[in-house]
Amino acid sequence: MSWIISLAISFVITAIVTPLLIPFLKKLKFGQMILEDGPTWHAKKQGTPTMGGLGFILAIAVASLIVSRSKEVLFVVIIGTLFGAVGFVDDYIKVVKKRNKGFSASAKFLCQSVVALGAAVYVYFASSHAVKIPFMAGSVDFGWLFIPFVMLVMLATVNSVNLTDGVDGLASSVSAACALFFLLAALKLGFEGVSVAIGATVGGTLGFLIYNFFPAKVFMGDTGSLYLGGILSAAAVMMGLEFSLIIAGFVFLFETLSVIIQVTSFKTTGKRVFKMSPLHHHFEMCGWKETKIVGVFTLVTLILAAVCYIGLR
């Protein structure tokens, strides 16, 4: 039951640290800069403190390491933190250097790729590189192709979570729901270390939601969203559940697909499939309130997480 302890510690630390962090971020003028190509009513969010993900990153690390220092825990926490560090640099450039686009796309992708490569190589040599197939007892051994496969999964996940963070409470709610699946999967499959780190992730995201739910008092920033994507994908890779991540994290995936579909359609036909992308903005333009979007997307994730859990063998 060590995961319960890590979950509780992480929740309490996040719930205590975040309100202390908010005035500190305001004092440093670490306010969110709103992109002009988003919904016009998002302009009122300009200046809301960002980089609040630092609070739950600290909480998850502390809670996990208090309970366990196993290789599984260290791997998941370190990979999440490294991706979070990439996000921190991106946020710093945005809010301090006042460059709204942050990191150049190539530099950001290169840094993410280095982290993903390190994670893939480590798991390849230190653990099983068999990938479980949902609803089937067998698994697939990719051989050396496991390394590029894992890199693809991790890069897709971290950037998809990042894209999902566009509505108050959305990324944290969907991440908590997705993390819940990996927590239950870790318990079922016997990955105690992963359950500790992911239990702390559930607690941290729920603690953060207190202040991130609509109307948000703080945003997680790329610091938090890349961290969450990193820690979820690290847990999936450690347990061989990359395909399950695609299902449980379908909301993240479709957020990215909506952007790809939109750009491809506009460039080839001059027409847009969605009123605005990513997908959550489309529903905003359709008149959905932010709370409804968060509720529906989280419910979809919980349903898909339940399907994934049933499919575990």
All residues at 6 or more sequence positions from 157 whose CB lies less than 8 Å from its CB, including other chains: 229, 230, 232, 233, 236, 245, 249, 252
Distance between alpha carbon 101 and the CA centroid of its chain, in Å?
20
Q: What is the signed CA dihedral for 248, 253, 254, 257, rounded to 10 degrees?
A: -160
The two three-digit tokens of residue 45, written as one number: 């969010």
SS3 1: coil
One pLDDT digit (tens) per residue for the chain, 313 residues: 899 999 999 999 999 999 999 999 988 877 666 555 555 555 566 778 989 999 999 999 999 999 999 999 999 999 999 999 999 999 888 887 766 665 788 899 999 999 999 999 999 998 777 899 998 878 888 889 999 999 999 999 999 999 999 899 999 999 999 999 999 999 999 999 999 999 999 999 999 999 999 999 999 999 999 999 999 999 999 999 999 999 999 999 999 999 999 999 999 998 999 999 899 999 999 999 999 999 999 999 999 999 999 999 7
All residues at 6 or more sequence positions from 81 whose CB lies less than 8 Å from its CB, including other chains: 57, 61, 227, 230
Structural domain boundaries in the chain: 2-130+137-241
Distance separating alpha carbons of residues 305 and 69, to the nearest angstrom: 27
Measured in degrees and rounded to the nearest 5, phi and psi for residue 231 equal -75, -35
Alpha helices in 28-70 (DSSP H): 53-67
pLDDT of residue 310: 94
Q: Are 65 and 73 in contact (CB under 8 A)?
A: yes
pLDDT of residue 48: 87
pLDDT of residue 42: 57
Distance separating alpha carbons of residues 169 and 224, to the nearest angstrom: 12
pLDDT of residue 36: 53
Distance separating alpha carbons of residues 216 and 302, to the nearest angstrom: 23
pLDDT of residue 129: 78
